[in-house]
Structure 1
Amino acid sequence: MMGRLARQGGLAVGERIRFDGQVRLVLAVTGRAVILSELTSEPRLVPPAALFADGDFEIVDISGRMPLPPLSLLETLPQPVLEKALWWEGHILEILHGQAPDAPQGAEVRPEYAPTRSLTARERAKAGW
């Protein structure tokens, strides 16, 4: 069904999809490949055309913004190191998801980080290029 393929914003890191008979996690998305988790082997690179053409393809979970992982081990770091790590994490999540983790629920995605832009374009926007 074509209706399942046309989704505003495209496929995003952290979403779960059904492909080739299994539910997999999207680890990365580029113009040339979608990198999917594999249960028993290394991550799998799949061209987007092959992914979307698969009769089994379905987006299973659109979580929107991924929750931040528990701090646990990070909490053992010295305070300045922890603060810097969390600062970097916020910037990386903004590049990946279009919003900083502390953005209010329902906030607009900043245009320079829109999921319709390539990851490279979003990284360059963050770097100020």
Structure 2
Amino acid sequence: MSSRELVRGDERVEQALRAVVMRREGYSYADIASRLGISTIEAQEVARVAYAQLGEQTADELRVEVEDRLDEVIRKATRDLMLATSQTERTALYRVLLTAEAQRARLLGLNLKGEGHGQET
């Protein structure tokens, strides 16, 4: 496979990921096509292929991927917290951090609330 084919393949993967993200954010296929510079039919096909590949991932692979994204959010929010100049900013960032940590706990099965561990349901 030539380097040109590899680059084109990487571009298609990037395009597929962007299409899935935009679709999850509520964009129509026409909007996705416009933003990616492709036809609506191509946008549908790119998203379909990406969703099929996502379906092939195991639960563990998806869990790791989501945990990595949560880690990135936590890193950025922690950095921003150090640079915050007002209490309003700090409060918003604390909310982001606590939410991300709660999501990570649920993802990892650490959320024991309501399972008879001293918590009332």
TM-score normalised over the length of structure 2: 0.35
Whose RCO is larger (CA < 8 A, sep 6+)?
1
Query: Quick check: which one's helix share is greater?
Result: 2
Higher-Rg member (1/2): 2
Query: Quick check: which one's strand share is greater?
Result: 1
TM-score normalised over the length of structure 1: 0.34
